[in-house]
Structure 1
Amino acid sequence: MMMMSRVLLAFFAFFSSLWLALGSPIPQSEVELNKRTTHSGRGTWYHAGHGNCGGWNTDSDLVVAMSKGFYDQNGGSNCDQYVKITSNGKTAYGLMVDSCPGCGEGDLVLLLSLSIDMSPSMFEKFASLDTGVISIKWSFKPKGWKP
């Protein structure tokens, strides 16, 4: 009798564990987790124009471009999403509107080191255009967020 109750308890424990494991949330993809990560990388500048996200921008717009690899990996789902950028003790917000073929393609393997390209007016929030390249930290703001 004691042996039978132990066997039943073992079966109950096994199936309860199995049921809990199957009912657990599915882990989010690396792209979803990457959206909430603070990235480190290089910040450069480019002349804005027709962006990969479909719109037109000028050099005076506070816009940024993500690496082409990251854009392709997430299917452009970060288009028109703001990013918070910090460099040289300053913080500013830019709208993701484009992709950049030369921005951190190799950095994508690390997932924490992604470079972005900024419009001239965005870059000048941190340094003069003559500087060319700056070290930055950046992260996505929630979809729909505006500064």
Structure 2
Amino acid sequence: MYIDYERIIAAMAVMSAATADFFSYKGDATYFYPGLGACGGHSTSSDLIVALNTQKYANGKHCGKQIAVHYNGKSVDAKVVDECPGCGSNDIDLSPAAFKKLAPLDKGRIQVTWEFK
């Protein structure tokens, strides 16, 4: 009996990438003043948007997707419009409007959980 291990490994990689979007992540959230984002559109400080770290941004794979961000019993949905090269592996950078839905801007950095919707 012949087993095509390369095909099995390739299928497992596809399944792993597809299910990665269903995980919840824990990381730091900061805020930034947007403009032209890596996804190609212009945003303002009043938009509910987010920049993902380079790995999660995945060359624009998540542009336009929504994430749900949670902190201290509060939540906000934000649209992926940008990349945050300086963010750590599960960290995100929110617009001021999105950040303010969770905490005052003077907090600067908060530990959140978030997931793709």
1:91 to 2:67 alignment = no
Matched residue, 1:47 = 33
Q: TM-score, normalised by structure 1?
A: 0.70
Unaligned runs of at least 5 residues, structure 1: 1-14, 108-113, 142-147
Aligned length: 114
Larger radius of gyration: 1
Identity %, equivalent residues: 35
1:68: Cα distance to partner?
2.1
The aligned residue for residue 61 of structure 1 is 47
CA shift for structure 1 position 84: 0.7
Aligned to 1:123: 99
- Note if 1:34 corresponds to 2:20: yes
TM-score where L is the length of structure 2 = 0.87
Moved more, 75-84 or 62-71: 62-71
How many Å separate the matches in 2 of 1:45 and 1:100?
A: 11
Provide the secondary structure at the position in 2 that maps to 1:130: helix
The answer to whether structure 1 residue 81 and structure 2 residue 81 are counterparts is no
Q: Which residue, out of 119, 132, 138, partners 2:114? A: 138
SS at match of 1:54: coil
The 3-state SS of whatever aligns with 1:47 is coil
The alignment's C-alpha RMSD in Å is 2.2
